[in-house]
Structure 1
Amino acid sequence: MLVHKKYSHLAIYLRISQEKKHENEETLKNHRDILTTYAESIACKYDIFGEVISGGKSELDERKQLHQLLHKIEKYDAILCFELSRLSRNGLISQTVKQYCMDYDKPILTPYYEYDLSNNENDRLMFDVGSIFASHEHSIIGKRSKQNKLAMARAGLHVSGTVPFGYKRNKETRRLEIDEEEAQAVRYMYELYEKRLGSYKIRDILNREGYKTRQNSLFSIPTIKRILKNPVYKGTIVFNDRKRKKKDGKFIYENIETITVDKAHPWIIHPDQWERVNKEQVEKAKKTLIVREKAARKTGVTMLKDLIYCGVCGRKMAIRKDNKSATGYTIKKCEYILKNGERCNNGGIKLECVEWEVKQELTQYKQSLPQVISFLQKKSLTNLEEQRKTRLAHIEKQLTDNRQQQQRLLDLALHGLFSDQEIIKKKQALKAIEQHLQSEKLTMLDYMPFSDDTNELLQGTIDLVDKIDYFSCEKGNEALKHFISKIYYTRIMPDDLLKKSTQSKERRYYPFCVEIEYKA
Structure 2
Amino acid sequence: MRDEYSDETKNIALYCRVSTDEQAREGVSLDEQQQRLKSYCRAMGWTEIPHVYIEDGYSAKNMDRPQLISLLKEVKKGTISKILVTKLDRISRRLKHLLEIIDIFQENKVSFISISESFDTNTPSGRLTLQVLGAVAEFERERIRERVFENMLHAANHGKWLTQSPYGYDLIHKELVVNETEAEVVKRVYDLYLNEGLGFYSIAKKLNQEGIPSKKKRGWSIRSIKLLLTNPVYKGTLVWNRIDRSSNKQVEKDDEDWVVVENAHPLIIDESTWEAVQKRINQASVPPRAKTSPHLLGGFLKCGRCGAAMTISWTGPKTNRKRSYRCSANKNKGTCTSQPYNASDVEDWFKEGLLRLSKSMNSSYIFKLAEQARNDEKQVINQQIQSAKNRYARKVEAYTAGLIELGDLQKEKSRMEQIVQEAETRQSTTTINTEGLEEKLNGKISSLIDAIDTLPVVEAKSLIKTLVEKVIIHGDKNIEIVLTTP
Short-chain TM bin: 0.3 to 0.5
Q: TM-score, normalised by structure 2?
A: 0.40
Q: TM-score, normalised by structure 1?
A: 0.38
**Higher RCO (CA < 8 A, seq sep 6+):** 2
